[in-house]
Amino acid sequence: MNRRLFFKQSCAGALLLSCPKLFARGKDAVVRFGLVTDIHFAHRPVHGTRYYEQSLDKLTEALRHFNGQKLDFLIELGDLKDQDDQPERAQTLSFLDEVERKLQTFDGPLYHVLGNHDMDSISKPEFLAHTFNYGDAKGKSYYSFTKGGIRFIVLDANCNPNGSDYDSGQFDWTKAFIPESQLTWLETELKKDDRPVIIFIHELLDFFSGIDRALCVGNAENVVSLLEQSGKVVAVFQGHHHPGNYSFRNGIHYFTLKGLIEGSLPENNSFAIVEIDRELTIHLDGYYNCEDREMKHV
């Protein structure tokens, strides 16, 4: 068993004084949610460090922990499924249906963020028809919801420079853009009220961090400018870059979760439980390859 996971499991049954970290925060948390990204599930051979079929077992373990924590919601940050070496639409949809059925065993509201691989051999409408967001977010690629007095905004950067959607693999994944219509919607969302905001997106927004620019949203400067001008955004949670990343600028944390797909069982997995307290400090409890992190609101 992974040593970090063993420690967490052992603490779960111990006294408060033995494991203060895992118990002291929960009663002060405003929101607690599960976080996972880059599952890339498919029935296809191992390719390099990507163990596609094992993703379902890794996800099963993550869900077991999430369901034992009475979380407010679960969100996956994109690239939920993959495709075979020889892509075929019906087969790809079967991969998507299989992993979505597993995700739907989460005991609470479930949300999706679209990733580039989610449209590698199917269309965006097809992906949305085969996945099921909670409540008013159903069938939407970008949307917002509120929990514990915090506004959560999900963005969709899976569009071409001309504003058209990624569709059935006919796109360049290094050219991800958020179209003007979505930017206008985002600006409106940020002005709705004084609630603090958390952003979820697949492709990266922290272009300033030294990360490969091909991993970032093409018009990230415009998006980040809106977030910074609002003065309300506490953090951005991202996927896409499987090794993970962290940066901070102008009061906003940018956390990129490591991809679940990477590495073989039993030692490798990646998921997290996130708690946000009354002071808007973010406590990220990471499992396996995902390290713990505390992100203070400043």
pLDDT at 282: 98
Tens of pLDDT, residue by residue over 204-254, are 999 999 999 999 999 999 999 999 999 999 999 999 999 999 999 999 999
The span from the first CA to the last CA of the chain, in angstroms, equals 37
What are φ and ψ of residue 219, in 5° steps?
-110, 40
Tokens 């111990």 label which residue? 14
pLDDT at 25: 45
Nearest to 280 by CA among 145, 192, 150, 190: 150
158 in Cβ contact with 114 (< 8 Å): yes
| pLDDT of 9 over the 90 cut | no
pLDDT at 123: 97
Tens of pLDDT, residue by residue over 247-292, are 999 999 999 999 999 999 999 999 999 999 999 999 999 999 999 9
* Domains of the chain by residue range: 3-293
| pLDDT of 2 over the 70 cut | no
DSSP code per residue over 34-102:
EEE----B-SS--BTTB-TTHHHHHHHHHHHHHHTTT-SEEEE-S--B---SS--HHHHHHHHHHHHHH
151 three-class SS: strand
Nearest to 43 by CA among 84, 89, 101: 84
124 in Cβ contact with 141 (< 8 Å): yes
User: Residue 77 — pLDDT band, cuts 50, 70, 90?
Assistant: very high
How far apart are the C-alpha atoms of 169 and 118, rounded to whole Å? 9
Q: Which residues contact 84 (CB under 8 A, 6 or more apart)?
A: 42, 43, 44, 91, 92
Q: For the domain with range 3-293, which CATH number is right: 1.20.1740.10, 3.60.21.10, 3.40.430.10, 3.40.50.1820? A: 3.60.21.10
In the chain, pLDDT over 70 holds for what percent of residues?
A: 91
| pLDDT of 12 over the 90 cut | no
pLDDT at 29: 73
Degrees to nearest 5, angle at CA 56 with 52 and 57? 110
Q: Which position has the higher pLDDT, 276 or 18?
A: 276
